[in-house]
Structure 1
């Protein structure tokens, strides 16, 4: 019976994986089990909840500044995203953070404006966050979590049916292995991919890509170097991110020059 269960489980997982396989904008194979419509619905619902629970910045100049950067970035997105109706909200929140959600939603925390010193640095963060959306990282993360939970539950059932000793300890070990061996590195790969997508996006919009490196140097200074070891973090270390960005800087500068020649030179203040 245990062998039959294992075979059926493997077959089902493989079916889900094959049916959900796509390719990211950088050519990476990814698994996305949920429809674009479903992800948009989830993004819109989450954003609505945030607007109800968090204070929103009302200063017109601050909102106009953030909206200006967003508008320049959005025009350079692939058509299916550029043609969306995007909503941009500045939240009164001290953390230096921003996010973008499926369904055309962008949130920026006021704390980020203290670390991102100019339009180029803020465009680096916003481009990075929009990069997560166009690369369908949220879909990947939800899909990955579903597959991990399914696999752990199936393993637990198999161990129960086999009357395996120390089942509880084994399951705890599997859970830790899933987190540190799959979930966290997977998130770091998303961050690195979004860095490169965002770098090219900001350059196409006419922002200076060097702002991305300056931004992460500011982030490192603001953090005081207090962060977990990289293998235990969902984000790459700042120096890793900077090296990753610098490796794509030559191409990004060429894209910026093309944008400037085409008259795309943002002046968001």
Structure 2
């Protein structure tokens, strides 16, 4: 009993010490350090490069890297640096970003993101997940409920739940394990992504066009109450409300000469 009480006290102290705020001011519990998350993200990304077919088309890679570099170049100093960008030959309209400054893009996203501003919406959103530390938040939640104490070791090959860890990092689709980000995290990544694309000189109004494309191609998205993601209509409405806040950032960036010219 004394051990349980002592452990509970240590846990409470750890939770209090790990309280943080997301970029939008939402309270978070983060029990994993940036270095631990970077290690996990790098390991996961290396595995994805072995597991999936990498696109070697120079024109495609230059286009994606142009958009990604334009966004990451405007990040705060702690997030700046060389982000590794890889295009995967995959039909699904998807992209992801991982701790450790990793960005993956599926070729299928070009069916939905039809110009540089729409692709910037996608990449801004995914980088937004990283900046808001959503992977660390989900891993921390698993630790709090007692199932995540060995997650780092699992990813590094010391356990049998690697699929779960990959899912928590945001790579569930590739492993047949649906562990999507929650509604709050998705909405937060939308907002952070708008800011990132606008300050890089991409038109935030393109975000609505992207999700209209996504809606048209969704072929019967389930009702919002059955999904952890906001419905396309909710997402579009929220973006329309947020755009006026970030449109001045876009105009300021353009005035400063930040006019990305990325094309395939």
Task: Show the counterpart of 2:260.
Answer: 266
Q: RMSD of the alignment, in Å?
A: 1.9
| CA displacement at 1:233 relative to structure 2 | 2.2
* 2:198 counterpart of 1:216: no
Matched residue, 1:25? 23
Q: How does 1:171-250 map to 2 (within 5 A)?
A: 187-227=182-222, 229-250=223-244
- Out of 120, 124, 128, which is 1:127 matched to? 124
**Which residue matches 1:66?**
64
- Judge conservation of contact 2:181–2:229 (CA < 8 Å) in 1: no
The 5 Å alignment of 1:84-163 reads: 84-149=81-146
| 1:148 CA drift (Å) | 2.3
With the length of structure 1 as denominator, give the TM-score of the two structures.
Answer: 0.82
Q: Are the equivalent residues in 2 in contact too, given 1:124–1:215 (CA < 8 A)?
A: yes
How many residue pairs match? The answer is 233
Q: Give how far 1:241 is off.
A: 1.2
SS at match of 1:40: helix
What secondary structure, in the 3-state scheme, does the structure 1 residue paired with 2:184 have?
helix
SS in structure 1 at match of 2:56:
coil
1:25-68: per-residue Cα shift (whole Å, max 9, x none)?
11111111011000000000000000001001111100000000
Deviation of residue 231 (structure 1)?
3.4
Distance 1:123 1:254 in 2: 17
C-alpha spacing 1:232/1:14, structure 2 compared with 1 (3 Å)? farther
**Conservation of the 8 A alpha-carbon contact between 1:137 and 1:190:** yes
Instruction: Report if aligned partners of 1:185, 1:231 keep a CA contact under 8 Å in 2.
Output: no
Structure 2 length as normaliser, TM-score? 0.83
Secondary structure of the residue aligned to 2:145 is helix
**Structure 1 counterpart SS, 2:114:** coil
Deviation of 1:12 after TM superposition, in Å, equals 4.0
Q: Which runs of 5+ in 2 are unaligned?
A: 149-178
Q: Which has the higher helix share?
A: 1
The answer for the alignment partner of 2:163 in structure 1 is none
Instruction: Point out the structure with max Rg over C-alpha.
Output: 1
